[in-house]
Amino acid sequence: MAPAPRTPKLHAALWAAAAAVVALGVGEMAAGLVQGWRSPIEAVAESVIDRSPSAVTRFGIQTFGTNDKVALIVGILVIIAIAAPLLGVAARRRPLVGPIGFAVFGVAGVAASLDGGSLAAATPAALAALIGAGIMLVALRPSSGERRIPSDAGVGRREMLAGAGALTALGLVMVAGGRAIASRFSAAASRAALVLPGARQPLPAAPAGASFDGITGLAPLYTPNDSFYRIDTALLIPQVPVEDWTLRVHGMVDEPYEIDFDELTSLGLVEVDITLTCVSNRLGGDLVGNARWLGVPLRTLLERAGVQDQADQIVGRSVDGYTCGFPVEAAFNRDAIVAVGMNGEPLPLQHGFPARLVTPGLYGYVSATKWLDEIELTRFDTFEQYWVPRGYAEKAPIKTMSRIDVPRSGQIIDAGDTVIAGVAWAQTRGIEKVEVSIDGGPFAEAELADALTDDTWRQWRMPWNAAVGAHRLVVRCTDGDGQLQREERDEPLPDGASGWQSLLVTVREPS
């Protein structure tokens, strides 16, 4: 008996790709139907985030910024899009290669889903692998003595395209349907219905002199919520309805306790203006923002628990398992809060709803846990927070920094009277002076807007009569302790970037 003819390469590749899309659709649909079941793609992506070397993580943030998670998911999908057709072609000779390949992907998905989840959380990954492997067996295994795809090339191609196209469409529908169904677990409705109590002593509006209005491109005094930077390890925003939220305070305390949201806000809310900065922010970067926060002083929560003398670290835990850690004294010598509001509204979902830590003077990775559900008192010598094993510093005070917002690097501007402007920050110390040098000349002092607080950034500006040609601008600042910003350049790893920002602009004759 003659050997069964093989499926054409193109047909095999397209059927395998269709099988992969259907498998993804099954996984997404299953994850959407049952709360607690994890999307295989999301589980794998989160596993990649947790296990990536710090250099890779830093590259992702610096290259893609706040789109780093989208880039990761796209990268995983691209790998699947390449691997599936290759499996299909290989399965022409060895039919079991396709199912085995899907099984390998399934094992990876199951393992990632089990990381921090229950056994049931891996169900979507297991179902996806089984469906994908099954399709590969049925579609590509040759039958005895005849092709599964008709021998007439034209008819076979049409049937192949129709079948593979139908499977692909089905898979895409299931992916979209699964995501839509999963949206019912969103905390958006809970946030929309929430009315926060007011602060005991509301802050007055920012004085007019604290902001230089009318300078296009200058960062506003308060960063709008929808443009405030977001850097965290959560691939998908955790959905925590306020009705289900509790905060546990425990560890090295005399009286551990747990409170719900109403109890938390009944302790008395305060308003504080605080600028947050990400340790990954590069010179001139935008991973920094200022907001008016509403929350409960962290010291109030700790005083109720009674911090034991041996404790020297406060650990904030997120609902998704992320941890930060910072010195106990930071809760008592500055305006650290458990925040529930941001710029006059409940915390946005992406910024930690319903509650997060906000601690001035420390980079966010050690002090600003979002989606907070635990505060534990412990010691630095017995517990390492999330980023320390990945090469970042254990303690991370924010460095004195200044930035040029106007003009932008590489911008072409018209000659004549213009302005150089930007912001500077040194949380807990404040900004005393900002200076600008043009083309290597002496540093001249810029005009500072009024200080809001020592915990916020400060706008600055300098008039400039720009002459035609290329010009280099350099900025530096001095903090409230009289310390000049460090000139030597350091990369963000391990404890934040340093250096004087410089940029080139081109000045042309006015048109």
Domain ranges, ordered by start, for the chain? 9-185, 208-390, 401-508
Strands (E) located in 231-390: 246-251, 257-260, 270-277, 288-297, 313-318, 323-327, 337-342, 345-346, 356-358, 372-378
In the prediction, which pLDDT does 152 show?
40
In whole angstroms, what is the distance from residue 410 CA to residue 430 CA? Answer: 30
H/E stretch holding 207 reads none
- The alpha-helical segments, DSSP class H, found in 67-152 are 68-90, 97-114, 123-140
Look up the pTM and report it: 0.80
Task: Give me the percent of the chain exceeding a pLDDT of 90.
Answer: 60
Q: How far is CA 333 from CA 336, 360, 466, in A?
A: 8, 10, 45
Segment among 154-163, 339-348, 386-395, 461-470 with least mean pLDDT: 154-163
Name the residue type at position 164: A
CA distance 320 to 332: 27
Q: Of the candidates 96, 97, 106, which has an alpha carbon nearest to the alpha carbon of residue 20?
A: 106
Measure Cα distances from 256 to 59, 305, 385, 474 in Å: 40, 6, 21, 51
Q: What is the mean pLDDT of the chain?
A: 89
- 30-34, 156-160, 390-394, 469-473: which is most confident: 469-473
What's the whole-number mean pLDDT along residues 84-92? 84
Q: Under a CB-based contact definition with an 8 Å cutoff, are residues 403 and 385 in contact?
A: no
How do residues 374-416 score in pLDDT, each as one tens digit?
999 999 999 999 999 988 999 999 999 999 999 999 999 999 9
**Fold matches, 208-390 and 401-508:** no
* CA pair distance 110, 43, nearest whole angstrom: 8
Residue recorded with tokens 């390469």: 9
Whether residue 4 is predicted with pLDDT greater than 60 in this model: the reply is: no
- In this structure, which CATH number among 1.10.3470.10, 2.60.40.650, 3.90.1170.50, 1.20.950.20 belongs to the domain 401-508? 2.60.40.650
Q: What is the pLDDT of residue 1?
A: 43
Q: The domain 208-390: what is its CATH number?
A: 3.90.420.10
**411 is written with which tokens?**
């911008």
Q: In what order do the strands lie in the sheet with 412-414?
A: 412-414, 502-508, 469-479, 431-438, 444-445
